[in-house]
Amino acid sequence: MKASYPIKATLLLVFTLFVSSLTFAQDKKPASPADSTSATVAGSVIKIKYSSPYVKGRKILGELVPFDKVWRAGADSATSFTTSKPIKVEGKPLPAGRYAFFVIPSASGSWTIIFDKNPKQWGAYTYKEENDQLRVTVKGKTAPKAESLKYTITKKGFSLKWDTFEVPVSIK
């Protein structure tokens, strides 16, 4: 009987290690997975690349995304906005090109929309207002709850949707 005990213990240990390795090998979603969308609006191909954070029970507006401060409009690297041709955003001209896309939410519900000339930035840490190509103001609105941040493009423009808010931006 003594000989079988070490064999059983060894088999149990090997089995436990095998099951543990399977558990750790499972695919886990990144905290803020990369996403993108593109469509043609006003004759221009619009591309938006971003990382999509989740609400995960947190208070978003006013806390995770503070009022009256520049936010990268996503997670990780700054959101990237590309237009293949010149367009008008909220009636103001935006030349063709690739931009970092930032927003500044306010408690009143207005949002400052920023297209920054430096498209390769990590978050908003190196953002400088003097690099703005265009700033416009839009009115945000309430929307059905969305657990992850999502951009959608329509023939009238694009929207940022997350938690219980939506920020529509018109393009012509």
pLDDT tens sequence across 79-119: 999 999 999 999 999 999 999 999 999 999 999 999 999 99
Is pLDDT of 45 > 80? yes
| Tens-place pLDDT, residues 143-153 | 999 999 999 99
- What are the angstrom distances between the C-alpha of 110 and each of 44, 46, 76, 93, 103? 26, 23, 24, 20, 10
Give me the mean pLDDT over the 118-127 stretch: 87
Does residue 67 register a pLDDT over 80? yes
What is the total residue count of the chain?
A: 172
The residue type found at 55 is: V
CA 160/CA 115 separation, integer angstroms: 14
Q: Where do the H-state alpha helices sit in the chain?
A: 4-25
Would you tell me how many other CB atoms lie within 10 Å of the CB of residue 62? Answer: 11
Contact partners, residue 51, CB within 8 Å, separation at least 6: 32, 33, 34, 35, 74, 75, 76, 77, 79
pTM given for the model? 0.81
